[in-house]
Amino acid sequence: MERDDIIEYSLDTHHSVEEGVKMRKSIWKVTGLLTLITVVEVALGAFIKQDNSIWPIVKWGFICLTLVKAAYIVLSFMHLGHEKKSLKYVILIPYAIFILFLIFISLTESIAVGAAWEKYGA
């Protein structure tokens, strides 16, 4: 039996020099975008205090911007966007379902636990 790592299954294990130039341009564009988002997040975090009335919007803004950053890292840097669609879905969909449920149940339980502690003493 031949070694698995000699056989190239991935369709894009190699590309030409011209394709490389295009890819590098898109890499730098994504880099610029991620840096910009980070700068915006830090500026908001440093200057808008938590007792400000606008804070809830800023907080949800952070979470959305973080998801955007994560999407770019996974789809562009980790190449998942260029892989076969089935691989993309196999990785992302179970994780998303699990994490969303876990976040929901953990916050729900946390509120319940907090209320119980306040009522009966921690």
Partner 1 sequence: MSEHATEQNNTKTLWGGKISPFNASYGKLMMWFFLVSDALTFGGLLIAYGFTRFNTQDAWPIGEETFNSLPFLGHGYPLIYVALMTFILIVSSVTMVLAVEAGHRMDRKGVTKWMVATIIGGFFFVGSQAWEWSHFIHGSEFGKVELADGSQAIVKGHFGKIKNFTVVETTKHHKKGELITEDLMHQYQHAVVKGNIEKGIIQLHDGTLAKVNKEADHDMILIIKKDGIKHKIGQKIEGAEASKLYYESINSGDAHKVIYGANLKENEYGPQQYGQFFFFITGFHGFHVFSGVCFNIIILLGVLKGTYHKRGHYEMVEKTGLYWHFVDLVWVFVFTFFYLV
DSSP state of 48: S
Helix (H, G, I), strand (E, B) or coil at 23: helix
One residue of 52, 54, 97, 109 binding partner 1 per CB under 8 A: 109
Q: What is the chain's alpha carbon radius of gyration, rounded to the nearest angstrom?
A: 22
How far is Cα 43 from Cα 64, in angstroms, rounded to an integer?
Answer: 16
- Give the footprint of partner 1 on residues 31-90 (CB under 8 A): 31, 34-35, 38-39, 41-42, 44-46, 49-51, 59, 62-63, 66, 69-70, 73-74, 77-79, 83-84, 86-87, 90
Which pair of tokens denotes residue 17? 């020099």
- Identify the sign of the CA torsion 2, 5, 11, 17: negative
Which residues contact partner 1 by CB under 8 A?
1-2, 4-17, 20, 23-24, 27-28, 31, 34-35, 38-39, 41-42, 44-46, 49-51, 59, 62-63, 66, 69-70, 73-74, 77-79, 83-84, 86-87, 90-91, 94-95, 98-99, 102-103, 106-107, 109-111, 113-114, 117-118, 122
